[in-house]
Amino acid sequence: MNQDRGSRTVTESTFRFRYRAAARRFALVGLDAIERDRATGAVLAKSTNFLTGIVITERRRYSEARGGEVTLSSEKAQVAKEKRFIEDVKLGDH
């Protein structure tokens, strides 16, 4: 499921689910959340993998000289490997 919302600051969220046969339910396995400031070109991107428990956070900025986004910083951290099912996930969960 993918959702964009906002005007000057746009937030894009992509939720990834995998069917768990034992539970007969879809579980959240990944979440990518990107916030863009259309006025400054600043980008904050967070990619969370709930299977590995790793979240990668990048700060980027649009570069006219390079014709696209350039990464300013990147951090890797651990998060809980929690099981959340599709009916428990709400928009804005990032």
Task: State whether residue 86 is helix, strand or coil.
Answer: helix
Q: Is residue 27 part of a domain?
A: yes
Q: What is the pLDDT along the chain (94 residues), one digit of tens a residue?
A: 666 677 889 999 899 999 999 999 999 999 999 999 988 989 999 999 999 999 999 999 988 899 889 999 999 999 988 889 999 887 665 5
Is residue 79 within 8 A of residue 48, CB to CB? The reply is: yes
Q: Is residue 79 part of a domain?
A: yes
Closest CA to 42 of 72, 82, 78: 72
* pLDDT score recorded for residue 35: 94
Q: Is residue 91 part of a domain?
A: no
- Number of domains observed in the structure of the chain: 1
Q: Is residue 90 part of a domain?
A: no
Asked whether the whole model's pTM tops 0.85, one would answer no
